[in-house]
Amino acid sequence: MLRSILIYFSRALWAQRIVSDWGAARKMASRFVAGEGIEDALRVIEALNEKGIVATLDHLGEHTSTPEEANLAAEEIIATLDALESSSASSNVSIKLTQIGLGLDESLCERNLERILTQAKSSGNFVRIDMEDTPFTDKTISLYERMLEKGFKNISVGMVIQSYLYRSEEDVHRLLQLGARIRLVKGAYQEPVSKAFPKKLDVDANFDLLTKHLIDAALAAGAPAISDNGRIPPVPAIATHDEKRIDFARQYAQRMKLSKNALEFQMLYGIRRNLQEQLSLEGFPVRVYVPFGVHWYPYFMRRLAERPANLWFFVSNLFRN
């Protein structure tokens, strides 16, 4: 119930206007968001890189409401890729397709995505297409496939799959046949029982099953490793803070003799830092999802929805201010 309420608030514009003006909210959001500008994000990445951890940058924003906003968002993502090219940062980029027009006009989104991938390809970087809620699942996968048809390779673009959806095993098989590099997550949106597993136990079991499929596919593809500059990921990116899921992936990879540099773990900025550093010291590539920008509110609310402890921390700080 609490999770549903917070996800509702993440989409409520009236709530966004109120919370965004609270100093306590901005302070709490800074735990999960690197800052508002690219310079802030690059400083965070530099600190991560010094610890042997790589990153993926997300210029926050989703569900743009006009073509002009969608085009501007695409320009900002291209500028992020330019900034990475001009730096020594070990980081790639993650994007949401509703940010560049998917909710408005699929052809507009396709043009913007092609512009972004053209820049990524020319600078030798990689763009991960985030998966959003189920009204956009089929369109997102179709756009990824069209980008491959246009000549973009899997070293330039990858996908995300959510283990809480019933359909995800079929989607994983479909994408792996195309050689996709896949980030596996549990899923952070509110979905109906008709589309998603309602019980955590089933979500976790599906996560482990899909992890096996990704590791098997990595081996079948020759176990491609993370690139030397940290920008191009291996086939499986296991994105979770759940130590049981991480342990399953480590043990299965070891049993199947997949080299450590061909399996990447991903976590969110500001969460489980000790675990990030531990995995990195063990020799696994670790990539931290680093969001930045002024549109931090929806992302922040979803982080609160994921862990009640985050919400209580926020509320306690709110009433101290």
Strands (E), the chain: 54-59, 91-95, 127-129, 157-162, 182-185, 236-239, 264-268, 286-292
Dihedral over alpha carbons 167, 173, 176, 178 (to 10 degrees): -90
Residues carrying an active site annotation: 130, 183
Pairing of strands 182-185, 236-239: parallel
Q: 184 burial class (0-12, 13-18, 19+ CB within 10 angstroms)?
A: buried
CB neighbours of 41 closer than 8 A, spacing ≥ 6? 34, 35, 57, 290, 292
Collapsing DSSP to helix, strand or coil, 88 comes out as: coil
Distances (CA, A) of 202 to 88, 100, 198: 41, 33, 8
